[in-house]
Structure 1
Amino acid sequence: MYKQSILLNGQQLSIEDVHKVAVLKVNVEICPQALSKVKEARKVILEMLDSDIPIYGFNRGVGANKDREIEPTFYEEYNRNLILSHSAGVGPEASEAVVRATMLARLNTLLLGCTGIQPEIVMMYKEFLNKEIHPVVPERGSVGVGDITCLSHIGLAMIGEGEVHYKAEKKTAAEALKKARLQPIKLGPKDGLAIVSSNALAAGKGALVLKEVTDILEMAEIIYSLSLEGLNGNVSPLDKGAYKVRPFPGQEVSASNVRKYLQNSYLWQSNQTKALQDPLCFRDACQVHGTVRDSLEYVSNYMNLQLNSSDDNPCLLFEEKRIIACSNYEVLTWVLGFEMLGNALNHLAKIACYRTIKLSTPSFTGLPRFLSPSKETIAFGTIQKTFTSLANEIRHLSNPSSSDYFSLAEDIEDHASNSMHVVTKTATIIDNLYYILGIEAMHAAQAIDLRRENNLGVGTATAYTLFRSKVPFLDKDRNLSIDINEAYKLLKSGELLEKVKLATNKG
């Protein structure tokens, strides 16, 4: 049962919370003490209005225009122009969930009081989330030093410009604000920069991607367990003793999960005739999955820091009543983590493909070639082209791109990380993996049927039964694209994962 709302204070937002607000549309509330910080920070900014000290994005321009002085009488128009001029993103449009995650990520960091933004804008983020006003935000155009060209489109909506999705319809922002009984924001000093200059788009989407990695990793372990039963595989690599002498944390968790799914399986019976050693794609699965787990832990730790810390430049230290130029927008630490994670997922995809190929090979299974139910049936003779082509895409998506950047803004901005692109290609890797694992499940279930083995594990029996309710036994040749899509939808829905968890956690 989910909480009715999530209380934000700038310091305790979790990846799971992002999923709840973005996907499940849980409401948000703002901690009164955190809002007090925002108000105190705004007072400090207003006290600086008559200061002669040059301050980036406040009384001076941004980027290469940092030498341009902004007159106090020009604050509103300048900040409006900043929003308009930075609205330069290109499609595709971010999904509703990504937009919600983005607004949530930015709202939480605003509560630290490091921007000096007016409290009315902070409250507008909350209203947009709770009233489900979702600005149309293009996903591409950020180089990863603050997602300024994309986040500006949220600013557009707040001042009554641009478009939004409201009550499942695309409307002008002005129309949506009117229907929601909200007044467009009137921008003041530093407001424009506070809205556009953060990494909230990459961080918001990144948090959702990390939640998906967690789920698909457990799904991969369930499918691997099914494949072991389809192969009549050797379970000695799952022995607890091996992990005691080599206690790598991720692989211990993976092996524990597989043992749980295979509890009571026929594979544990000592009278089974098995190969002395199975191919590495079967033997090493927990080690490879464990590597993904270890990579995921690294990225998740830094993502939690990202979601609960200021990435503002300049950074307002309101308690000290000073504002400093800094590099808090630099996110290379967790961007490189995503690239490591993408590479680990590439290994997971590869061994899943090899397991699927092995399940179609009689010399490994003792079953008919391509798991054919009869001599007249071609069965899985061609499907290898499909999943290997998807794996090839993953291989190229796992290539690093954080080091590919240009020197911009008259050479003052000469470093970037391409954070949004890195996060997006990781999301594509995951989507391809759902297809690959779905096809592996098709082979595993077919092999189990041909083996006529009914004594499956507690978890695998649940997975097999649910899978067969969506994708029946291949008794004769049929359109396999339909089966592939059904398998993909089942895995992507999370239903199989949820039911296997329930089955294995009973008692």
Structure 2
Amino acid sequence: MAERVVLKGDSLTLKDFVRIARDKVAVEISDEAMERIEAGRRLVYEFMDSDIPVYGFNRGVGWNKDRKVVAKYYEEYNKNLIYAHCVGVKPEATEEVVRATLLARLSTFLVGCTGIQPEIVVLYKEMLNQNILPVIPERGSVGQGDITCLSHIGLAIMGEGEVNYRGARMKAEDAFKEAGLKPIVLGPKDGLAIVSSNALVTGTGALLVQDIEDLIDIADIIYALSMEGFKGNVSPLDESAYKVRPQRGQCHSAKKVRSYLEGSYLWLPNVTEALQDPLCFRGSCQVHGSVRDALEFVKEYLLLQLNTSEDNPCMLLEEKRMIPCSNYEITTLALGFEMLGLALSHLSKNSCYRTIKLSNPYFTGLSRFLTPADTSVIAFGTIQKTFTSLDTENRHLSNPVTADYFSLAGDIEDHASNGTIIVQKTAKIVDNIRYILGIEALHAVQAIDLRRADRLGRGTKAAYEVIRNEIPFLDRDRNLSIDIQRSYEIIKSGEILKAVTMLSKGSNQ
């Protein structure tokens, strides 16, 4: 039987989340979780015979919270709620983002606080396992529940929206027929349960966290490689300095960089003339460590978001109550991603400054712009414009947007987090940094070759070989856009990280 992850509503890890969303690992729902869903549905039907007003159930939503919903119109009301919230705009979410969004909401369904009908929960599971992916626009959410985007999932499960299935875009109803599934007839509480969730920001954020974890490891490797090209002073890596200031993130990065440089010529006596290198070299582990520290903060609250209720109203099964609340509020998570963007902007600029220094003979003792021939080859004379332009974009993207919102819905909804915008702009920063680190890597290996350094560290040697297998020494001027793109793809694919990690595992066996 193929590998499956059992979802319980309280124990989904980020590792399993990424495997399901990206690698299409199948999911199952635990018996206990389904029992909670069924018990919640029974409680919904008990409330149908009650005059107790419940938001989004027998009363409207938003400004219409005072409008009564009569039981015989539950299907019509819930369908209209889906239609009315379908106001998202392009671009459309990628396949992995849609899978992540479905998974994020499925996980919070299983906490058992929605009252949604069990058939919808099962359909979410089947859409993941059979890769039936609703077409979801990514923009339009203010991050107080991604209602304008998730409503398009509601269209699909009613058989009225569009999905991508088996490589084709088609009507959801047709895809369900091919897959042996049936569209859902909505009932009480279903519409609000589908749309009132932060699943888009949570799902996209979980994927982004994995990307940043990989990126910071790669940044440590590229920094170590640049140290060898720069002939940098390794004293700031001394373990004793970190023992008297044990800040977790920077200690982690410094340990990794020391391991990558194990056996390097940099550790030989009297190699480095400089008493202290520029701050962009001297303090890189500290800057990278700040990204790691911010990442740990985000991971804590992201896991909380994935494994707890985000529903309003919140169904309390044991107390047999359904209460209005603010469990949809994700300001802490939004602020965490804002912090990550700011930390990444520091990493971005640090990389740019290292690259600039590598081109400067005053610091390196090598040729200007790392040219192999001063009078006939320009080499990296113009490339600085590219990576500094990307860094400028990163600085702009790192500006906070979470405090920029309007009071909406008749002044009832007067707070928002802009979570989806924050995650999307942070993802753009990450992608820009892949280019920036790629360009730094080009400079690092060029400097190593010009320096004729033949004693590299265990990790840096592996990274050097991955780059040089794809991009030859710059012996004459050529179209550097091609080299930049190749280096970006090496960074994005994780080839360097895989090569260095495999080497590290081999040395520990």
State the partner residue of 1:70. 69
Structure 1 partner of 2:397: 397
Deviations, residues 373-413 of structure 1 (Å, cap 9, x unaligned): 01200000000000000000000000000000000000000
Looking at structure 2, the residues matched to 354 and 43 of structure 1 have their Cα atoms a distance apart, in angstroms, of 62
Q: Distance in 1 between matches of 2:504 and 2:133?
A: 39
* Distance across 2 between alignment mates of 1:496 and 1:368: 27
Aligned to 2:466: 466
| Cross-structure match for 1:363 | 362
Distance 1:505 1:230 in 2: 25
1:265-321 CA-partner distances (Å, limit 9, x unpaired):
111011414311110000000000001100000011000000001110000001111
The one-letter amino acid paired with 1:443 is H
Determine the structure 2 residue equivalent to 1:41.
40
SS in 2 for 1:23: helix
Distance in 1 (CA, whole Å) between partners of 2:73 and 2:472 is 68
Match for residue 410 of structure 2?
A: 410
CA distance in 1, matches of 2:182, 2:303: 33
CA distance in 2, matches of 1:434, 1:115: 40
Matched AA of 1:258: V
Offset at 1:355? 0.1
Q: CA deviation at 1:233?
A: 0.5
Residue 494 of structure 2 corresponds to 494
Moved >2 Å (runs of 4+): none
* 1:221-265: CA deviation from partner (whole Å, max 9, x where unpaired): 000000000001000000000000001010000000000100101
In the alignment, structure 1 residue 80 sits paired with structure 2 residue 82:
no
User: How far apart are the structure 2 equivalents of 1:193 and 1:14?
Assistant: 26
Structure 2 counterpart of 1:430, one-letter code = V
Give the counterpart letter for 2:472 in structure 1: P
> By how many angstroms is 1:471 displaced?
1.1
Q: What is the distance in 2 between the residues matched to 1:152 and 1:473? A: 52
Give the whole-Å Cα distance in 1 for the aligned partners of 2:354 and 2:273.
16
**Which secondary structure does the structure 1 equivalent of 2:315 belong to?**
strand
Distance (Å, rounded) in 1 between the aligned partners of 2:369 and 2:3: 50
Aligned match of 2:137 = 138
Q: Secondary structure at the match of 1:46?
A: helix
- In the alignment, the residues of structure 2 paired with residue 446 and residue 250 of structure 1 have an alpha-carbon distance, to the nearest angstrom, of 30
Aligned to 2:114: 115
Structure 1 counterpart of 2:169: 170
> What is the distance in 1 between the residues matched to 2:156 and 2:180?
14
Note if 1:270 corresponds to 2:264. no
RMSD of aligned C-alpha atoms? Answer: 0.9
Report whether the alignment pairs 1:333 with 2:335: no
Per the TM alignment, residue 499 of structure 1 is displaced from its structure 2 partner at its CA by 1.0
Give, in angstroms, the shift of residue 505 of structure 1: 2.4
1:200 correspondence with 2:162: no
Matches within 5 A, 1:118-129: 118-129=117-128
Aligned-partner residue type, residue 112 of structure 2: G
1:374 and 1:504 mapped to 2: Cα distance? Answer: 37
- State the distance in 2 between where 1:467 and 1:345 align: 24
Query: For the residues of structure 2 that align with 1:310 and 1:396, how far apart are their CA atoms?
Result: 34
Residue number in structure 1 paired with 2:477: 477
Task: Indicate conservation of the 8 Å contact 2:58/2:69, yes or no.
Answer: yes
- Match of 2:476, SS state, is coil
Task: Provide the C-alpha distance between the structure 2 equivalents of 1:88 and 1:18, rounded to a whole number of angstroms.
Answer: 28
Equivalent position SS for 2:246: coil
The residue aligned with 2:377 is 377
Normalising by structure 1, we get a TM-score of 0.99
Alignment of 1:210-359 (within 5 A): 210-359=209-358
Report deviation, 1:168: 1.4
Distance 1:283 1:234 in 2: 8
Gaps of 5+ in 2: none
User: CA deviation digits over 1:26-84, x for unaligned, max 9?
Assistant: 10010111110100111001111111011000000000011111000000011011111
Tell me which amino acid in the other structure corresponds to 1:111.
L
Provide the rounded CA distance (Å) in 1 between the counterparts of 2:306 and 2:38.
21
Correspondence for 1:434: 434
Tell me by how many angstroms 1:492 deviates.
0.3
How far apart, in 2, do the equivalents of 1:467 and 1:5 lie? 36
| Deviation digits for residues 397-455 of structure 1 (CA, Å, limit 9, x no counterpart) | 00000000000000000000100000000000000000000000000000000000111
- Residue identity in the other structure for 2:397: L
Structure 1 counterpart SS, 2:294: helix
The separation in 2 between residues aligned to 1:486 and 1:39, in whole angstroms, is: 52
Report if the CA contact (8 A) 2:378-2:477 is conserved. yes
Task: Write out per-residue CA displacement over residues 161-198 of structure 1, whole angstroms, 9 at most, x where no aligned residue.
Answer: 11111011111111111111111001000000000001
Q: What secondary structure does 2:245 align onto?
A: coil
Moved more, 199-208 or 172-181: 172-181
Q: TM-score, structure 2 length as denominator?
A: 0.99
Amino acid at match of 1:179: E
The letter for the 2-side match of 1:415 is H
SS at match of 2:169: strand
C-alpha contact (below 8 Å) 2:228/2:266 kept by paired residues: yes
| Larger displacement relative to structure 2 (16-25 or 355-364) | 16-25
The alignment partner of 1:48 has SS state of helix
Displacement of 1:3 after TM fit?
8.1
Partners in 2 of 1:269 and 1:3 — Cα distance?
52
1:419: which partner in 2?
419
What amino acid sits opposite 2:289 in the alignment? G
Counterpart amino acid of 1:155? G
- Letter of the aligned partner of 1:200 in structure 2? A
State the alpha-carbon separation in 1 of the partners of residues 436 and 446 from structure 2: 16
**What letter matches 2:207 in structure 1?**
L
Residue 16 of structure 2 corresponds to residue 14 of structure 1: no
Q: 2: CA distance between counterparts of 1:284 and 1:331?
A: 33
1:443 correspondence with 2:443: yes
Cα separation, 2, equivalents of 1:271 and 1:301: 44
- For residues 60 and 182 of structure 1, the distance between their equivalents in structure 2, rounded to whole angstroms, comes to 31
SS where residue 170 of structure 1 aligns? strand
Contiguous gaps of at least 5 residues in structure 1: none
